[in-house]
Structure 1
């Protein structure tokens, strides 16, 4: 059975949570993706830094977007596994860079990092994503 080809390049915009956070996709092509977020008070924790859950979301979205672009936007992905390390508090404008680094027909291995306005590393992650039909 041959399934119809579907363009998954618009999936990011269809996730309400991305809009709620105010996250923007600046770039997504050839296994690379870049997301941007302007931190607001309602996205911070007790220490006036961007909440760790928000940073993990940025990492997850950057990696999943990189995986989508690696498939030429012909497939969707779901997160199987994600490991995150927090380096320093994130404040202000945050940028997440995701890269598809390997995998095969059914899974994609990715890495991502979040940097602050000064370009300092805030957090990094590795993740495994399963390709699924949209």
Structure 2
């Protein structure tokens, strides 16, 4: 198991819906997170291109991560999505997509993030913007136990 996975998930597989999506954490640091997804038939809509719900879900995850980095192994910070806007700008049906989120502003409990989804050719597939609220116990850098 990679050192990166041990740090991010405490050595555990992704839980619940995250596992269903099947993404891979590329990087996660203060104010920025990056995930990738190798597209499979289960990620496509009836038209044979990536489903908008998959793009929106990945943006929701990475935008929340951008404001909840926790540098302490075995611990995490949590946030609740207050609003999320997705704008679809392109389509793809295969390859690997990369989703990047950046925290833009915020206080001790509420923060805003923006993000983008690109295919492996660099084409922009979607843009997202979200507002999140830090959950109780997650407002400090040490967060809560995983």
Once the two structures are superposed, the pairs formed by residues 81-100 of structure 1 within 5 Å of their partners are 81-91=83-93, 92-100=95-103
Stretch of structure 1 that moved more, 91-100 or 121-130? 91-100
> 1:17 Cα shift?
1.1
1:22-71 CA-partner distances (Å, limit 9, x unpaired): 111110001100010011011101221111100001101110111111x6
> 1:15 Cα shift?
2.9
Query: Aligned equivalents of 1:10 and 1:64: distance in 2?
Result: 15
Alignment match, 1:25: 25
Alignment match, 1:3: none
Residues matched between the structures, number: 126
Q: CA RMSD in A?
A: 2.1
Alignment match, 1:125: 128
Query: Aligned equivalents of 1:121 and 1:97: distance in 2?
Result: 11
Query: Aligned equivalents of 1:20 and 1:109: distance in 2?
Result: 26
Query: Aligned equivalents of 2:46 and 2:20: distance in 1?
Result: 20
Unaligned runs of 5+ in 1: 1-8
What is the DSSP-based 3-state SS (H/G/I as helix, E as strand, rest coil) of the residue aligned with 1:68? coil
Q: From 101, 108, 112, give the equivalent of 1:109.
A: 112
TM-score normalised per structure 1 = 0.85
Query: Aligned equivalents of 2:109 and 2:13: distance in 1?
Result: 24
Query: Aligned equivalents of 1:14 and 1:68: distance in 2?
Result: 17
Unaligned runs of 5+ in 2: 1-7, 138-143
Please identify runs of 4+ aligned residues in structure 1 that moved more than 6 A: none
The reply to whether residue 79 of structure 1 matches residue 78 of structure 2 is no
